[in-house]
Amino acid sequence: MHLLCERWQLARVADAGVTVENTNQTNTTLNGSLEPYGQLIKMLLPRALSIDIFGPAGKKYWSSTDVVSPDISQLIAQARHTVAGAEEGLFRLLDDGTPVYLFRLCEDGGELVAVLSVTCRADNGESRPWSFVHSLLRPALECLQRELVAQESIGALSRSLEVRDKDLDLLLSITSDAQAETAQSEDDTDELRWIVQRSIEHLGCLFGALVIPEKGIAICRAGHGAPAAQSSEVLTRTHRHLLTWAQLQGKTLVVNKVVASNSPASLPYKILSCPVRQSSNRVVGFFALFRTEDMEDFDHRHTRVARLLARKTAAVLQANYDSATGLLTRPAFERHASATLTRAGSDQHCLVYVDIDQMHLINENFGMHIGDAVIARIADLTRRQSHPGAISARLAGDRLTLLLPDCDLEAGTEVARKLCDGARLVQAQQSKETSPDVSLSIGVAALHGSDKLSHAMAAAEVACKAAKDRGRNRVEIYEEADVSIIRRHTDIGVAAQLRDALRTGRFRLDLQPILPLQGALKEPHFELLLRMIADDGNSIAPEKFLPAAARYQLMPAIDRWVVEHAVQTLSEHASLLREHSACFTINLSGQSIAQPEFADFVEGALRRCGLPSESFCFELTETAAVANMGRAETFMQRLREMGCHFALDDFGTGFSSLAYLKALPVTMLKIDGSFVRDVIVDPRSQSMVRAIAQLAKTMCMETVAEYVETDEIRRRVASLGVDYGQGFCLGKPQPLSQMLKELPLFEAFALSPRREPAAVAPLDYPEVAPAAASP
């Protein structure tokens, strides 16, 4: 019998599909056919006249007849309300003596699944007992029970998956729709509004709210048919309590029981409120949903979805707001600023660029935590300034910015001055043991409707840098007539070109000869000169880009490029350099000398090239050497031990002192060109050149006169005791590879004996004789 029922059940599943219809209630309605089970019961009990199957809520699942009699319906209701576990079924006789057998089909836990009624024909007025009929139908009843339980489980799972799919659709639609809306409006707060609005619609709530006090966000939305004014009133009356709960408890609040009260403070709403947290887990606000007391309770699913939406809100905040200061990030600032300028009523706006002075000293002397506190306090100053509609952001580190819409330059400057005054009071808010002096350098630039935000930002930054150069703790206005500001603005563009040139290698190395002026036989020297290649292929002289490189700390990268490429190119001509004596001078900056690892880089490059270290001379300016005295001395001593030489450039214009000249292992002094140019007409310049030459001889050093442009200057500096000359009179700069081809000629010239002061014909390529010619 059991085997028959199992086969019957398999055939029923194969032939008749059972589907689950989702309703607003928790009960399930089976619309599929249960006729195979009715046929099976009919086979097991031939006396059966009608068979009816009802669900636990009284819903008819299936019946063998079109109409169920009221008597049967009443008996079904009685069987449904029988206490679980008390009886497995009922037996009743209708008024006409017709026996009715009722069977309660339950799960293992006792929960009712269905009620089966079988109306039978009485034989000779006699009815068989319920236990006998139950024993006949037991296998079929067990199969039917398992079928109904399975279908109920499948239905519950299907409903759960459907709900989860809708929840997932909510999260995905919030992301995609909000991104599309944000792209159109260029205002990321629209994404937060979308989260609140779609949450109300999806979860069937009356109101929704998002409150983030420290970022000035208070969003309140009403559901369909709900008055917006009422939602604002609800938020006004509850936001302090919900924020306090979120910050103190840090948990989700679910209020489903509404206490009836005539008190004005009571609210007839069910509430679901989730805390919104930063990445540091600090609660910064709350996300809340409201329902009236006649709506269904908030359950576990609603709580789970609300928590996910609160996390989504936190992710939006993290992407658009700086966690340390609460200000907008730079990308978010640019979006907000663009949207604000589009809606602005006037054509005059101001951009304020703020840089906290000497922040590195605050961090070093008082600790990073004090530095962070100073940045947070200055950020709070920018947030609390009084101009309506102002937008503030943290660009990076200790740099902040403000957009002042509908504001002229005078009013914007006044706002900047108030920020400077407020910064001086920040130290008073620190403890006596840690009280750093805080000041700001601020640049202000006008922004008109047709101007690009990026251009105004660059102009304000240039003015801010000018404020730093002019003493800090001040406000500077960007003015196109200000020469220093124009130069700095130009340097910003040059710095961008430099970075691109470093990335693509758009540089070239030229050589300029440094030839002996006296009768003694000396080997020729050559100075490597850097040229940047413009987009049109023309070369750019160093004086056009080196100031920008120094200002924006690009000199170390440039020096590394020069050393690496100079050594590589010279090593390719190693055989020529071994046959002909020459020394090559490479310029280094003070920024590179200040880096401890730079000495390792230079030493490694020299060891790899295969050329004698005596072939290299490194040139530093007098100012750079003195500014980094300790590291310069260490660097020079290290390379001197390898055999390298060192020259001091621009001697006589910096911090000239015998003390440091004695300490530094210098072998050559280069006399600044300002003295050499005037040596013919200025007795003081002649005296200075003669004094430097005599000092160098006393200290066993050689001298080089720069800017030897005429033969008259060459003869004069030679008569004053200078050893070498460098300038167009002796040779113009030429590409390194071309100059190396003429190395034998320069060697022959330098080592040929001559009287002093003999006239020396200038060497001007390409008119020089070929290398094979007799010197």
Contacts of 573 (CB under 8 A, 6+ apart): 740
pLDDT for the residue 162: 65
Report the side by side order of strands in the sheet with 474-477: 391-396, 399-404, 348-356, 440-448, 474-477
Sign of the dihedral defined by the CA atoms of residues 52, 58, 60, 61, in that order = negative
> What would the pLDDT profile of 257-266 be if each residue is shown by its tens digit?
876 555 545 6
Please tell me which residue, 463 or 151, carries the higher pLDDT value.
463
Helix (H) or strand (E) holding 76: helix 70-80
Is 70 exceeded by the pLDDT of residue 728? Answer: yes
| Mean pLDDT along residues 748-769 | 49
| Mean pLDDT along residues 670-692 | 89
Please tell me which residue, 4 or 607, carries the higher pLDDT value.
607
Q: What is the pTM of this model?
A: 0.47
pLDDT class for 744, splitting at 50, 70, 90?
Answer: confident
The rounded mean pLDDT for the chain is: 80
| Mean pLDDT along residues 604-608 | 91
Tokens encoding 503: 């990335």
Phi-psi region of 149 (alpha: psi -120 to 50; beta: other; left: phi over 0): alpha
pLDDT class for 163, splitting at 50, 70, 90?
Answer: low
> What would the pLDDT profile of 385-415 be if each residue is shown by its tens digit?
778 888 899 998 899 999 999 888 889 999 9
- Do residues 105 and 113 touch, judged by C-beta distance below 8 A? yes
Greatest mean pLDDT range, 270-274, 327-331, 469-473, 592-596: 270-274
Q: End-to-end alpha-carbon separation of the chain, Å?
A: 124
- Distance CA(405)–CA(388), nearest Å, equals 8
pLDDT for the residue 323: 78
- Distance CA(51)–CA(61), nearest Å, equals 11
pLDDT for the residue 450: 67
Please tell me which residue, 191 or 132, carries the higher pLDDT value.
132
> What would the pLDDT profile of 33-81 be if each residue is shown by its tens digit?
688 888 888 888 888 989 999 988 888 888 888 888 888 888 888 888 7
pLDDT for the residue 370: 86
> What would the pLDDT profile of 299-334 be if each residue is shown by its tens digit?
888 888 888 888 888 888 888 888 788 888 888 888
Cis before 757 (ω within 30) = yes
Least confident among 598-612, 707-721, 746-760: 746-760
pLDDT class for 758, splitting at 50, 70, 90?
Answer: very low
Look at residues 307, 313, 288, 285 and name the one whose alpha carbon lies nearest to residue 188. Answer: 313
Q: Where are the beta strands (DSSP E) in 223-297?
A: 253-255, 269-277, 283-292
Is 70 exceeded by the pLDDT of residue 289? Answer: yes
Report the side by side order of strands in the sheet with 283-292: 217-222, 207-212, 283-292, 269-277, 253-255
pLDDT class for 759, splitting at 50, 70, 90?
Answer: very low
pLDDT class for 774, splitting at 50, 70, 90?
Answer: very low
- Distance CA(460)–CA(457), nearest Å, equals 5
| Mean pLDDT along residues 92-112 | 85
pLDDT for the residue 193: 85
CA atoms within 13 A on the CB side of 298: 28
Helix (H) or strand (E) holding 301: helix 300-320
What domains does the chain contain, in order, with CATH numbers? 2-160 (3.30.450.30), 187-258+266-320 (3.30.450.40), 330-479 (3.30.70.270), 508-751 (3.20.20.450)
| Mean pLDDT along residues 449-460 | 82
| Mean pLDDT along residues 677-700 | 90
Is 60 exceeded by the pLDDT of residue 654? Answer: no
pLDDT for the residue 165: 60
DSSP 36-52: HHHHHHHHH-TTEEEEE
